[in-house]
Homo-oligomer: A and B are copies of this chain.
Amino acid sequence: MQNRNISDIIEKYLKSILADSQKIEIKRSEIAEQFDVVPSQINYVIKTRFTIQNGYLVESKRGGGGYIRIAKVNLIDDTDVLDQLIDLIGESITSGKALQIIQSLYEDKFLTQKEANLVLATMDRTTLDFADKRLENVVRARILVSVLNRLRCAD
């Protein structure tokens, strides 16, 4: 019970820092060394425990002076709607259905008019324009789901 796995311990450590500050910046190799694990385990911890659903945004940079940044974000109250929409979209969606969803997001004030227009522009039929329409609908679904996940953040 007390000796949990090392991923849990690293998670707890990072979250204890995030309790004080809104965001942290780490060097993957340093944290890995500190806890005596291989560097890629840090990626595992982040991928399983610092997701957007949990209220964390992660960005990173490779190369000299590289880093991993983890930021705590405020999630909106009503994520159910987003969950349901993501569920509904699944793996594939037509441009018509995507339009309906974006319109409803606008009506429910998740998006301003300009935001809605921008999002629409990214996924409309003439923008994506795949020969293979099946693939186009898959890509559109990924884009729309990504937008919906972004909307979880209240800022």
Contact = CB atoms under 8 A, between A and B. Distances in A.
Given A122-B143, A142-B129, A150 B117 contact: yes
Interface stretch (A2-10, A12-20, A77-85, A86-94): A2-10
Given A64-B5, A65-B8, A121 B142 contact: no
B129 A147 contact: no
B142 A128 contact: yes
Interface string A105-125: 000000001110111011110
Contacts of A139: 128, 139
A64 B44 CA distance: 14
Contacts of A117: 150, 153, 155
Copies of this chain, complex-wide, total 2
A44 B122 CA distance: 24
Interface string A54-73: 00000000011100000000
Interface residues of A, number: 35
A113 B155 contact: yes
Nearest to A66: B5
A146 interface: yes
B115 A65 contact: no
B5 A150 contact: no
B122 A123 contact: yes
B119 A146 contact: no
